[in-house]
Amino acid sequence: MTKMNVEILDCTLRDGEQTNGVSFLPHEKLGIARMLLRDVHVDRIEVASARVSDGEKDAVSMICRYARSLETSTETPIPDASEKIEVLGFVDGGKSIEWIEQCGGKVINLLTKGSENHCRHQLSKTPDEHISDIKENVRLAQEHGLTVNIYLEDWSNGMKDSPEYVYHMLSSLQGIGIKRFMLPDTLGILTPKETAAFFRDVTSRYPDVHFDFHAHNDYDLAVGNTLAAVRNGARGVHVTVNGLGERCGNAPLASVQAVLHDHLGIETSIEEEMLGEASRIVEGYSGIAIAPNQPIVGENVFTQVAGVHADGDNKHNLYCNALAPERFGRKREYALGKNSGKANIEKNLKELGLDLTPEQTKKVTARITELGDRKALVTQDDLPYIVADVLKHSAPEDRVRLKGYMVSLSYGLKPHACVKIDIDGKRFEADSSGDGQYDAFVKALRHIYKVTLGRTFPMLENYAVSIPPGGRTDALVQTQITWRMKDGRLLRSRALDADQTEAAIKATIKMLNQIEPEFPKVSTQDENSDITE
């Protein structure tokens, strides 16, 4: 790997929060900042805009306190953690500086104008008047002990329409103690060719200046432009988790990391295995779902569908590239559908430990193709049940069988559930109340597993309800549940039914049969009945 000093600045908490409908609570901002600094190991994070609100002030203060605690941590200290926290400030006569100082901040990213059009028409100032104001704010910040970086807002249009203005700004401001000049493609208008040319120009004119590049994704070129900027001298790049940001968003952290590593051979500080977890946390806090085909972090990106791909991977990993899923804490999967083919089915069967004859495999393949033609969603978890249906025998054996249940919902009372299940032929019953019908059902099951049998019971990680592909709102619903095992493994189970609760219950019983082989068979002395929680 090439050891280049390319800094990663994550702007999720500032620019990412400008996504329509996204507003992080202070404790959510702290949680994201903690993960980015401690687990993902980004070099810097931009956490807010100064003077926005009291809530924003609380969030920045909390993050700055956390950064100071990292500097003296006895476990994994980060000596310069406070210098990694940056806040956007304005040329406002020192008001932003005072706000940042009150929060405990050490770095201001001063927003200035990078195009003559913005300078004259938004500020109604001449370039020299604007430069004079900037210098005064830089002086004030330095007097307060702040490190100063400068954004040249609308720099890309400035290079297109008024390059002499840009050069005048840079020449006038270098040498006064500004640490970094940050060059944004504010409206996402650049192509990689233009980005490369503009960066070659500024880095050759000002070889001793540290330039960052801040990309926007309006033409879906943010990652390509970021790559071009680094190829031509950018020493820092700006990203957001999941590509959050105003309009079409910013360059996604995971994609930029992969491109820098694989195409430029740059070894950054990023812990790639943590990118998926960071993505899910930001997805949860922001409410903005990750597209299934989002590179690196999307649900489908390490899933092969075509049977020819599975065949090639079986023979010599012919359809694998440098984006090995294991790098990012993922694994390669082979989807099941009408395009699966025998090789794809065989890979899934092998992973599940199911050994079928060629004739049996042919029958299962035909059944999955039929389901795919009807747009039925088939997953690896469903495969044992398809095998059992096709071959007319129980494979795998259902050690857990739901024998009966009752769930109730009453106004003014907590929902209640009574459950009766057989495990290895032994009968267990329990009842419980909960915050919902399904919650009550799961609590009753958990009581059987944890209290009666002394077993572990997975924690509910995610619960999603949707109309199955090709379905109608008055037909079946699909419930998909994600469970986290005690050892950190994730299990997914799904089921279809006309009733949402019934589908969730079926999916839960599927999950229990998946984990049952990890437990010894129950004995007669384990049997208990009429258990009430």
Residue 147's CB is within 10 A of a number of other CB atoms, namely 18
- Answer yes or no: are the C-beta atoms of 87 and 102 closer than 8 Å: no
Task: Please say if 14 is a catalytic residue.
Answer: yes
Give the whole-angstrom CA distance, residue 154 versus residue 269.
29
Say which residues have a Cβ less than 8 Å from residue 398's Cβ, sequence separation at least 6: 513
Is 7 assigned a catalytic role? no
Kind plus residue range of the DSSP H or E element containing 238: strand 236-239
Peptide bond into 396 cis (omega under 30): yes
Q: Residues 14, 44, 180, 446: which is the catalytic one?
A: 14
Tokens of 117: 């059009």
Give the bridge partners for 42, in sequence order: none
157: which 2 tokens? 């249009």
Q: Which amino acid is at 190?
A: L
Which of 52, 49, 240, 241 lies closest to 153 in space, CA to CA?
A: 49
Long-range contacts of 285-293 (CB under 8 A, 24+ apart): 285/24, 285/28, 285/31, 285/32, 286/16, 286/19, 286/22, 286/24, 286/242, 286/244, 287/21, 287/22, 288/19, 288/21, 288/22, 288/242, 288/244, 290/242
Q: Which residue has the tokens 């909390």?
A: 62
**302 within 8 A of 332, measured Cβ to Cβ:** yes
**CA-CA distance, 224 to 333, in Å (whole number)?**
28
- Whether residue 112 contacts residue 131, with contact meaning beta carbons closer than 8 Å, is answered with no
Query: Which has the closest alpha carbon to 219: 255, 192, 181?
Result: 192
Helical ranges in 149-295 per DSSP H:
155-161, 163-173, 192-205, 222-231, 253-263, 275-286
Which one from 17, 46, 116, 153 is the annotated catalytic residue?
Answer: 153
Amino acid identity for residue 276 in this structure:
G
Which residues carry out catalysis? 14, 153
